[in-house]
Amino acid sequence: KAGVTQTPRYLIKTRGQQVTLSCSPISGHRSVSWYQQTPGQGLQFLFEYFSETQRNKGNFPGRFSGRQFSNSRSEMNVSTLELGDSALYLCASSYQASLAKNIQYFGAGTRLSVL
């Protein structure tokens, strides 16, 4: 089975622009989560989607949004980019196993640099 695929791997944008990141989960996985990783704040949860519905959301401003398509692929959008949005954005997928045994499989990430 192919792993979680994130595109693009690297992205350079300027302040004020918007960006869309893409994530293709492992085949059969219906849950997709997004995380932001920075040296200062570490790994922080952005949101989680299941069957095209957002089920969980982290503490990020409304500039960060996402969606999930019927094939479970997900996109994340950041509008009006700020310098502080520079980070590694990680996507993870999960098969809906028992609640006590959720394991997430991560993609290699998209490294976003905002200039």
Partner 1 sequence: SQQGEEDPQALSIQEGENATMNCSYKTSINNLQWYRQNSGRGLVHLILIRSNEREKHSGRLRVTLDTSKKSSSLLITASRAADTASYFCATTSGGSNYKLTFGKGTLLTVNP
Identify residues 62-81 at the interface with partner 1 (CB under 8 A).
none
Q: Which of 50, 65, 75, 79 binds partner 1 (CB under 8 A)?
A: 50
Cβ contacts of 99 within 8 Å, gap of 6 or more? none
Nearer to partner 1, 47 or 78 (CB): 47
Q: Are strands 31-38 and 87-94 parallel, antiparallel or unpaired?
A: antiparallel
Contact call for residues 4 and 26 (beta carbons, < 8 A) = yes
2 sits near partner 1 (criterion: CB under 8 A): no
In the DSSP assignment, the letter for residue 24 is E
User: Where do contacts with partner 1 occur on this chain (CB under 8 A)?
Assistant: 4, 31, 33, 35, 42-45, 48, 50, 55-56, 58-59, 88, 90, 92, 94, 99-109, 111
